[in-house]
Amino acid sequence: MIDISTLRRKIGAPIDRAIVEAQAAAALAGAGAIGWKEPRSILKTLQAMNKFGAVGGGIVNAALRHGDRIGVIDDRGTLTFRDLDERSNALAAALADRGVREGATIGLLARNHRGLLDASFAAAKGGLRLLYLNTDFAGPQASDVCEREGVDLLIVDEEFLPVVDGIEVAHGTFVAWTDTDPVDDRVGGRETLESLIASGDRGERPAPARHGAVVILTSGTTGLPKGAPRSQPKSLAGPGAVVSKIPFHDGGRVYVGPPLFHAWGLLTAMLAISTGSTLILTRRFDATRALDLMEEHRATGLVVVPVMLSRMLALDDSGPASRRLGQLRFIASSGAQLESSLAIATMDAFGDVLYNFYGSTEVACAAIATPEDLRANPSSVGKPPIGSTVRLYDDAGREVPAGATGRIFVGNSLSFEGYTGGGDKDRIGNLVSTGDVGHWDSGGRLVIDGRDDDMIVSGGENVFPAEVEDLLAGHEAVMEVAVIGVKDKELGQRLRAFIVVRAGMTLTEQGVRDYVKANLARYKVPKTVVFLDELPRNPTGKVLKRVLRDWD
């Protein structure tokens, strides 16, 4: 006898997927990534995606639809979408001529510039596996990751040559960005990426037997970063989910500040290109220069991690208020906790254009808060977009009731496939743990209470440091703050706060404790306060709490 509930699931799942794909396609069409009014363009877009996957097909599609439009502005000048397409063709051809076969792994250690884009598109067109390395790596860390991931060829900026010195790879090391003449054939004894591109055939590439893949490393705030591999998605749900909430659009101009080796920077850069927007990049983020470029190029979008917003707002006479930024449609923030006080201050300074993206390297997109969400509850990360499912469970795997705190699990088409070195995130069915705990507010918005392994028990009471951080971030004298748990003989654990005080202001340890005591329960008051000139952060802006835990 047929089980009716099983039959419904089997019939309903394909229908649900089709609905999500249709919604995603509509969102992408609205953002300009798909030209519904151009039947021939739609066919060519589908052919490009089928041939090279989302990354390689994305630049082919952009070149077909917007060939002579400026595709990227970086520290060296401008390139059109056609330039980017042809340069990646040439690089893919040159690598193949050097014996780099489909399935080989490229290790890429580069800042934000055209060379990183060239390598990304070329790897996709060549059916290669591309590993994005962290620019904060020291030599031993880079060596360990390259060995673990089986790197066959390295592409690095000139400044990182000492980092990879001694790492032996089968097909050699090439220089992506030089600090001297960009047309030099060799730098530091290594051939340049520009020379490879100049030697390759710029014509259309044949389809690889299998689509290329990317490996994004986890943030590594607690140890050696893990590799989170992804095949190129065959679904539109991932990019469609983002543009259904954040207004990327055809012909925009988007400054992306976070490193492109990080999932957030890479995702938004590829979305900008796929929607025909000009991508604005700088090798290093500087708040004043970023605002200069936004004003000069009439930016419609700004992509950041929260600390970048803090630095923009901390500028005196050269901050947002002194700029003509009337074209700005969105500021998209992710990569670290966006404190409620910073969310409000950003919207007050730039207008109600702030979006808070919540996700991780492992689960991709979980929820997105719109400006309306952030005005209603600035502590929230919003609601799941199309194609994403979020559930909250207790430690026994039971879904928690509305308003209760639970472990956050996410399901969508972009979830990772398990770590390359072995191991996985906790899973419940097809849902993957983010490693965070949170609750739903009365408006159905997700609020992150903290990391599931950050909670401490102090005097028998459960405390999440993130709640104390969020409160202290709203103090007028606090520029940056991090709170951790440390051992205590009497209480078991206690809180320690690390604070960077705003220039020209003063704050005492007792002042910090009094402020928390006036706003939160007694057991949430930090027992000790350490004042620093700056918090230790990784290149993506996350505070390195493992460094703070070693504080003597």
**Residue type (1 letter), 274:** S
Picking from 439, 290, 461, the residue whose alpha carbon sits closest to that of residue 379 is 439
**CATH number for position 536:** 3.30.300.30
Range of the domain at 113: 34-69+79-229
Confidence of residue 7 (pLDDT cuts 50, 70, 90): very low
CATH at residue 112: 3.40.50.12780
More confident residue, 186 or 437: 437
3-state DSSP of 191-231: EEHHHHHHHCCCCCCCCCCCCCEEEEECCCCCCCCCEEEEE
Give the domain-ending residue among 399, 421, 451: 451
* Domain presence at residue 242: no
Please tell me whether residues 482 and 407 are part of one structural domain: no
Is 490 inside a domain boundary?
Answer: yes
Picking from 338, 257, 252, 346, the residue whose alpha carbon sits closest to that of residue 299 is 252
Element (H, E) at 435: strand 431-440
Q: What mean pLDDT do residues 46-74 have?
A: 92
Residues 411 and 516 in one domain: no
DSSP state of 419: -
Looking at the fold, whether 543 and 422 belong to one and the same domain comes out as no
Does 446 share its domain with 480?
Answer: no
Helix (H) or strand (E) holding 393: strand 389-393
The CA-based angle 149-150-151, given to 5 degrees, is: 95
Average confidence (pLDDT) over 129-145: 92
Q: Is residue 304 part of a domain?
A: no
Pair (99, 170) in one structural domain:
yes
- 330-333 and 105-109: which strand pairing? unpaired
Q: Chain-wide mean pLDDT for the chain?
A: 88
One DSSP character per residue, 58-112 reads: HHHHHHHHHTTSEEEEETTEEEEHHHHHHHHHHHHHHHHHTT--TT-EEEEE--S
What is the C-alpha R_g of the chain? 24
Question: Do 391 and 528 lie in a common domain?
Answer: no
Over residues 445-474, the mean pLDDT reads: 86
pLDDT above 90: percentage of residues in the chain: 64
State how far the Cα of 432 lies from the Cα of 233, in Å rounded to an integer: 17
CA distances from 446 to 7, 10, 22, 327, 337 (A): 32, 30, 25, 30, 13
Asked if residue 490 and residue 435 are part of one domain, the reply reads: no
Domain boundary (186, 209, 229) is at: 229
Instruction: Assess if residue 352 is contained within a domain.
Output: no
- What are 313-339's pLDDT values in tens digits? 999 777 898 999 999 999 999 988 899
Residue 378 clears pLDDT 90, i.e. is over it: yes
CA distances from 540 to 136, 250, 390, 435, 524 (A): 10, 27, 25, 18, 28
pLDDT of residue 1: 43
Model confidence at 95, in pLDDT bands (50, 70, 90)? very high
Higher per-residue pLDDT: 350 or 336: 350
Distance, CA of 303 to chain centre: 9
pTM of the model: 0.87
Which of 214, 229, 244 is a domain's end point? 229
Q: Is 294 contained in some domain?
A: no
CA distances to 68, 160, 283 from 498, in Å: 50, 31, 29
Statement to judge: residues 524 and 445 lie in one domain: no
Is the pLDDT confidence value at 12 over 70?
no
Strand order in the sheet with 77-80: 77-80, 70-74, 278-280, 253-256, 301-304, 330-333, 354-360, 364-369
The CATH number linked to 436 is 2.30.38.10
Residue 251 phi/psi, 5-degree rounding, is: 85, 10
**Above 80 in pLDDT, residue 84?**
yes
Q: How much is the average pLDDT of 13-17?
A: 68
Is residue 23, in this structure, part of any structural domain at all?
Answer: no
What H or E segment, with its residue span, contains residue 242?
helix 237-243
The C-alpha atoms of residue 18 and residue 23 are separated, in whole angstroms, by 9
Residue 9: predicted pLDDT: 53
Looking at the structure, do residues 384 and 487 belong to the same domain, yes or no? no
For residue 221, what pLDDT band results from cuts at 50, 70 and 90? very low
Say yes or no: 137 and 88 in one domain.
yes
Task: Check whether residue 103 and residue 189 sit in a common domain.
Answer: yes
In 344-387, the DSSP E strands lie at 354-360, 364-369, 380-382
Q: Answer whether 103's CB lies under 8 Å from 215's CB.
A: no
Examine the pLDDT at 358 and tell me if it is beyond 50: yes
480 within domain boundaries: yes
pLDDT the model gives residue 338: 93
In a domain, 45, yes or no: yes
Give me the number of domains the chain comprises: 3
C-alpha distances in Å from residue 440, one per residue of 63, 376, 402: 43, 13, 6
Give mean pLDDT, residues 413-433: 73
